[in-house]
């Protein structure tokens, strides 16, 4: 396994002895070279070729291989080196568009359908973990959404109330004077608890999927970059960095790592980076003191800060500064650490044990997309919430390929927008992030309508 231990831009005194620049999750679930077939020749043909061995790809591979299909998974990196084992492990019904916004733009029934499907995706993770017996710290810990201003608090409650009214999702209001029972911080202006949201160890979840897919017969080919897929119905020729093969069906499951060679898909996803740090091992009892309910925590801005306790050690994970144009986490580690301490002052002189980054994918309409284009299946554009939706899309794609009955997805539309001249280089992400910051400040000054909450 490659370990990236870098020269820190953080003072040495703030780095724990076990500091590494790699995802915390890799300690328990490091990316593996598939089934050892890294150097094995590619087969000349397969029933299904899946491009991308993240959550979407492995869930599809598992279901297809179980049904008897000959499945190959092709990944440009090691299996699990993408976002699947780099995320924060929050499980939600996350979307950047609120119920009210969707109802206003596309009608109430569409809005309800969207959130019902997100709920099904959330429950789908629990069902898969249970059915497969994957030991990955899956828990319905609930989420605390902390308001960044009184106006954010009012807007959030209005959104949650609309969600309860339209779709029946529950929440509990936490006033500012009560918030220490959720998070021992004075940075926020109250918040809300969404009790049925959860968390997971994303590394162990993905590893569980990989193992089961392999047991079912899927062949994994890491370090095999797909350069071209011949479009059209019928068997398709796939050209990779390690040779070519023909497959009856092809699935693009590359999300934030979609390479330019996958032209149509690359023009529709907007890659951007997320950043996370993990603290050193904390003294016993400290996490319970600062995060008494051990939930997941985020705030009401579009560009959120997010916090969670590690499920398997006494550390806290913190993320933010999403979309910053940096290929590594180190330039941001000091800022993230300072922000964590400013939110949770009891962490005082805490040192860091990990810092890492990973790529997510936004879309021009802020919606995830699943479907088929030019004979090629795809599931893409998870907008920072790919654990439930990737799982859901992986299963849906497998059912479609197998010709099994399935409920059509509200996210499968003929319209998957791109922008003129966009080829997959997201030069505008930092500008968009600045716009979102401005937008959040504007909301803080007034009660704007239609904000999304991370429910």
CB of 261 to ligand FAD, least distance (A): 6
Q: Which is nearer to ligand FAD, 155 or 387 (CB)?
A: 387
Compute the half-sphere exposure of residue 341: CA atoms within 13 Å on the CB side of its CA.
Answer: 14
- Select from 233, 263, 255, 200 the least CA-distant residue to 57: 255
CB of 276 to ligand FAD, least distance (A): 5
Using rule CB under 6 A, residue 254 touches ligand FAD? yes
- Select from 55, 50, 64 the least CA-distant residue to 398: 64
- Answer for which of 15, 29, 50, 51 binds ligand FAD (CB under 6 A) is 51
Compute the half-sphere exposure of residue 26: CA atoms within 13 Å on the CB side of its CA.
Answer: 24
The DSSP letter of residue 370 is E
Using rule CB under 6 A, residue 336 touches ligand FAD? no
Could you give the CA distance from residue 356 to residue 22 in angstroms, rounded to a whole number? 5
- Answer for which of 220, 247, 253, 401 binds ligand FAD (CB under 6 A) is 253
Using rule CB under 6 A, residue 121 touches ligand FAD? no
Total residues interacting with ligand FAD, rule: CB under 6 A = 44
- Answer for which of 318, 378, 384, 411 binds ligand FAD (CB under 6 A) is 384
Q: Which is nearer to ligand FAD, 343 or 444 (CB)?
A: 343
Helices (H), 298-377: 330-343
Using rule CB under 6 A, residue 84 touches ligand FAD? yes
Q: Which is nearer to ligand FAD, 163 or 197 (CB)?
A: 197
DSSP 178-245: GGGGT---SSSS-EEEETT-EE--HHHHHHHHHHHHHHTTPEEE-S--EEEE--SSSSEEEEETTEEE
**Which residue stretch of 13-21, 330-338, 382-390, 447-455 sits at the interface with ligand FAD (rule: CB under 6 A)?**
382-390
Could you give the CA distance from residue 277 to residue 22 in angstroms, rounded to a whole number? 9
- How would you classify the pairing of strands 376-380 and 369-373? antiparallel
- Answer for which of 35, 49, 69, 82 binds ligand FAD (CB under 6 A) is 82
Using rule CB under 6 A, residue 208 touches ligand FAD? no
Q: How many degrees, rounded to 5, is the angle at CA 83 between CA 81 and CA 84? A: 80
Using rule CB under 6 A, residue 291 touches ligand FAD? no
Using rule CB under 6 A, residue 56 touches ligand FAD? yes
CB of 441 to ligand FAD, least distance (A): 24
- Select from 283, 350, 362 the least CA-distant residue to 318: 350
Using rule CB under 6 A, residue 258 touches ligand FAD? yes
- How would you classify the pairing of strands 191-194 and 172-174? antiparallel
Backbone torsion region of residue 44, taken as left when φ is above 0, otherwise alpha when ψ lies between -120 and 50, otherwise beta: alpha
**Which residue stretch of 14-22, 78-86, 136-144, 180-188 sits at the interface with ligand FAD (rule: CB under 6 A)?**
78-86
Q: Which is nearer to ligand FAD, 10 or 84 (CB)?
A: 84
- Answer for which of 151, 167, 226, 269 binds ligand FAD (CB under 6 A) is 226
Using rule CB under 6 A, residue 52 touches ligand FAD? yes
- Select from 287, 213, 256, 286 the least CA-distant residue to 385: 256
CB of 53 to ligand FAD, least distance (A): 6
Q: Residues interacting with ligand FAD, by CB under 6 A?
A: 51-57, 74-77, 81-84, 86-90, 225-226, 253-259, 261-262, 274, 276, 319, 358-360, 382, 384-388, 390
């Amino acid at each position: 396994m490659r370990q990236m231990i870098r020269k820190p831009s953080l003072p040495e005194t703030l780095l724990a002895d076990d500091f590494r620049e790699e995802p915390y999750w890799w300690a328990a679930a490091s990316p593996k070279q598939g089934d050892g077939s890294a150097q094995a020749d590619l087969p000349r043909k397969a029933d299904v070729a899946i491009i991308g061995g993240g959550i979407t790809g492995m869930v599809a591979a598992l279901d297809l291989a179980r049904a008897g299909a000959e499945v190959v998974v092709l990944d440009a990196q090691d299996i699990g080196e993408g976002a699947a084992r780099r995320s924060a492990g929050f499980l939600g019904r996350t979307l950047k568009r609120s119920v009210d916004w969707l109802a206003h733009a596309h009608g109430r029934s569409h809005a309800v359908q969207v959130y019902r499907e997100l709920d099904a995706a959330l429950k789908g993770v629990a069902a898969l973990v249970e059915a497969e017996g994957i030991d990955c710290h899956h828990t319905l810990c609930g989420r605390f959404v902390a308001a960044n201003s009184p106006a954010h608090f009012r807007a959030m409650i209005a959104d949650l109330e609309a969600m309860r009214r339209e779709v029946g999702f529950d929440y509990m209001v936490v006033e500012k004077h009560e918030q220490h029972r959720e998070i021992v911080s004075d940075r926020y202006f109250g918040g809300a608890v969404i009790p049925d949201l959860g968390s997971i160890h994303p590394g162990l979840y993905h590893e569980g999927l990989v193992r089961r897919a392999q047991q079912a017969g899927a062949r994994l080919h890491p370090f095999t970059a797909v350069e071209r897929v011949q479009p059209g119905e019928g068997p398709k020729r796939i050209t990779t960095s390690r040779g070519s093969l023909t497959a009856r069906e092809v699935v693009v499951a590359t999300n934030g790592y979609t390479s330019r060679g996958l032209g149509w898909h690359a023009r529709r996803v907007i890659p951007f980076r997320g950043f996370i740090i993990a603290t050193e091992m904390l003294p016993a009892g400290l996490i319970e003191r600062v995060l008494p309910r051990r939930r997941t925590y985020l705030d009401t801005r579009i560009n959120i800060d997010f916090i969670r306790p590690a499920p398997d050690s006494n550390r806290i994970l913190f993320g933010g500064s999403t979309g910053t144009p940096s290929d590594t986490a180190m330039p941001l580690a000091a800022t993230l650490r300072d922000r964590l301490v400013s939110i949770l002052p009891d962490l005082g002189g805490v040192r860091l044990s990990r810092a890492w980054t990973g790529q997510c994918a936004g879309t021009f309409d802020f919606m995830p997309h699943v479907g088929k284009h030019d004979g090629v299946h795809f599931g893409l554009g998870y907008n920072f919430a790919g654990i439930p939706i990737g799982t859901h899309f992986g299963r849906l794609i497998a059912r479609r390929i197998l010709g099994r009955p399935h409920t059509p997805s509200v996210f499968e539309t003929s319209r998957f927008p791109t922008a003129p001249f966009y080829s997959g280089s997201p030069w505008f992400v930092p500008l968009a992030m600045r716009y979102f910051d401005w937008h959040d400040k504007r909301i803080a000054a007034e009660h704007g309508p239609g904000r999304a909450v991370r429910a």
